[in-house]
Amino acid sequence: MPWTPLDDGMLTSTVLQKGPTVVAVWTLILASCDRYGVSKLQPSAVAGLMRISDDEAELAFEVLASPDSKSRNRAEEGRRIVKTEEGYWHVVSHSKYRRLASRAAAVERQQRYQDRRAREAMTEANQRGRS
């Protein structure tokens, strides 16, 4: 199942300055991405899901697809999404955050493995000490 990582950087994102509708649409787009960062959601579907007007949904997509000079991400002039040839939406920073999340998950897995090995070694040492 595809997933899109969210990190605490979103809490200081300039997207939050765009208003609650844009934030909600952004979150839906992120949640609907495939592993390549492509969302097939369209404004009309988002309008239905969120119970907002088509115009509000269209405007939110326009905001997310517009350059943002204050964005930390310089790719695509700070745009969050760009339209694909197929008419879908590509999340510009998707691969970056997916890589970061994968690295963080690998570090966490390695730490759990090392902790488990340390516990096993202590258990073996304790058992030898009792013999």
Q: Do strands 89-91 and 81-83 pair parallel, antiparallel, or not at all (unpaired)? A: antiparallel
Q: How many CA atoms lie within 13 A of 117 on its CB side?
A: 6
CATH code, residues 8-92: 1.10.10.10
Q: What is the model's pLDDT at position 91? A: 93
Specify the pLDDT at position 102: 55
* Calpha distance 119→131 (Å, rounded): 19
Q: What is the mean pLDDT of residues 24-33?
A: 94
- What is the reported pLDDT for 8? 78
60 or 112, which is more confident?
Answer: 60
pLDDT tens column, 64-105:
999 998 888 877 788 999 999 999 999 998 766 666 555 555
